[in-house]
Amino acid sequence: MASSMAAATAVASSSYLSPSPVAAERPTTGGRVFFPGASVSSRSLRLPRAGARSPATRKPRSKGIVAALADPLKVMISGAPASGKGTQCELIKAKYGVVHISAGDLLRAEIAAGTENGKQAKEFMEKGQLVPDEIVVNMVKDRLLQPDAQENGWLLDGYPRSYSQAMALETLNIRPDIFLLLEVPDELLVERVVGRRLDPETGKIYHLKYSPPESEEIAARLTQRFDDTEEKVKLRLETYYNNVGSLLSTYDDVIVKVKGDVTVDEVFAEIDKLLDSSLAKKAEKVASA
């Protein structure tokens, strides 16, 4: 029951981020859900395919190269609800050792710790208002300036969400080496979200089609999030596409689409290739400096 309450708290605090946030896949260790690909077509954001920016040949990454980098890897990642972003964040963090930073997680942590940013955010939330960009940007900035993020690099998850947030980060000279944009067809996203179910006793996430419960007893107690309906998912998708569209002009030189309607391993293989290439380019700059 504690785990389900924690999950509910996470959803509630994230909903106060401005603009209206996009619910992301955040599979837990005990309840990771992997979805198969689909052949349906997806809407286009008119960006180059993932491999388009990768060099024809790339140098293999080594611990020596990573350690020699004066400027560690900086990554932003975005994806629609149920795009598998949470799973890919776990894989990126595990392989590259970057610090995974989520604005929603920061908001909850700052409030729990009673920091000045947290106190200000809590005042808005208690009034049922969205937390202003300025407060969230300050939280993100402070976290990115901590030693672990400075030394190991960072993975900024689902943020910025709007042009104003992106501009606020730009004024602070916070900019990624690469912006990964997971692309999954709308039809598949809707199917993934509508079929999701939560076990309130264990906090484990199931999917009626792809990861069904192990027994009838578990199936009987599964619940569905109030906004995991087709109508509300489509509204969340529209919000997401509008938000992402507003970021294109800011990150057009570093943003790359990654095909997300294939297997988890195939998605990560493409991401791994892109990050490896980015590291190699940074190593070349260090070597030539």
Give the catalytic positions in this structure: 85, 161, 196, 225, 236
Cα separation, 240 vs 22, whole angstroms: 6
- CA quadruple 138, 139, 144, 145: dihedral, nearest 10: 60
Cα separation, 114 vs 112, whole angstroms: 5
Please return the burial class of 166, using the count of CB atoms within 10 Å of its CB with bins 0-12, 13-18 and 19+: buried
CB under 8 Å to 151, separation ≥6 — which residues?
A: 72
Cα separation, 133 vs 137, whole angstroms: 6
CB 155 within 8 A of CB 105: no
155 DSSP β-pair partners? 75, 100
Cα separation, 212 vs 218, whole angstroms: 10
CA 64 to chain centre: 28
Cα separation, 32 vs 257, whole angstroms: 24
Six-digit token string for 226: 């109030």
